[in-house]
Structure 1
């Protein structure tokens, strides 16, 4: 009893008591999904109605693909892949087709995926012929003894798994090539020509209570020397753990790596859940982490990124079914849907 009283005191002092709630004893299985198509400095004046419609349609298609699997009782892993593949195939996003060019004029692709059930993970970086890098990342997870493969080795492995490839012209677009040329001609930084990070990602909770996360990107315009960002780094751009949350990130990768954004958010939520569980031992209740608390944890980690000088955003889903966003930019291409009827896509911060 003394131990429970002490834990309750600590929770109250830290504000955790305000986030404590009892889960309903009989609750229908729930599912939720969130997606993103990049965050950054988005200008409303440059967003024509036609361009906005194009992004909204693309986001809705990706969201619907993932939500349909979850609604039919499918797995979070399958939902994540189903949502990411159409965004990799859409030249509006910086992933797969439509990826940015390196300094040497090549489209180099990165991706990662993680299963919250057992924390198995797969990732690839620097591949140039893989049509859907997220599918190769998943093959690394399930069909190899490794987590992270790069470049030629990753493509050799892809051949053994009959992963679909595509020629260089499949990935290249005039808009991305123009951005590289402008960067070189005007001696600009990647941030000056991109204005946004078009990385794509998805996180999901299925009706079995399992979480998953995936992220795919072409990196930053004009990247050199084999630069790797956060998207393929487990713990920085992608993380999933059934005990806490699933996260996919988009932003200035160097800062997301330094903070370990994806795992840091999950670690904070797991610690919160464990404290609430300790409190529940003495009173026979099953605790849940409230939506406001999950949002606060994500916002706090994104604030750390901002303090270091970085920007971007995250999407996350919790075991309770909360589908959330947090970003410190003027906009993030995003969407979310839940078994409770929520279904929305948005672009700018105030939406």
Structure 2
């Protein structure tokens, strides 16, 4: 039964506002941090991913301890993580994919403006829907399939090449950079869809707290992220340390990425999928405005705006006809 008290209504819209703020802030600060010209070395994306996993584990552990007594928590964590190795190992797959996805997002925002990234990344709705149909046996209605067509059309328009004037060599480099960013976003959408549905399937098969599951997920993510950091940035880490180039902006990016799942959890608890879709749409609009007026790395066109409108409409249409399933996957 849905609560309709004034207190519940305030929590609903407060959580909605926080989600818009968190989503927009993460994209913009990540983009800003990857394009900011600095005198010293730039922070390592692989290091930021590892730091975010550490913070997630810490926050989830605090939440678990808040729900139960300290002794019960120690027994619970030992029982679920140590004494059930098979169940724990199931989370290695989504953890590895999420780690890859998080690194891809840094690559994407190093090569795409925030507005284009935000709109294109909504393709994860399509990949999630397809994996839900194939892995969970879900059925989509006519309006949902129609919304997915709108989504693909909108993203295609956003990525539509525009005629530009200027130095030919610079244009080629820009096109190459944008292609790298686009490939990174597309791979992130596929990985997000598969990992999210896989994690949802695990949550539905067990009755354990979502925070415990996210601790397990975070532990694997920490291992995979550390291995990736050593393999790709090991030399730089040995020379200047893991936290080289960290600034206040970098720490903000790490905190926003780590705490994003908590915000989503609150929205799912107090709001619904329609309002979550509304938050996504607002985030796209705000990111576009800030990217144009403040970051000055985005020149909007009529084709882009048409594509963005289609994506926003697709988000509403898909959410409006979809009833939220119990035990929905929450990635923290």
Q: How high is the TM-score relative to the length of structure 1?
A: 0.26
Which structure has the highest strand share of the two?
Answer: 1
- Of structures 1 and 2, the one with the larger relative CO (CA 8 A, separation 6+) is 2
Which structure has the highest helix share of the two?
Answer: 2
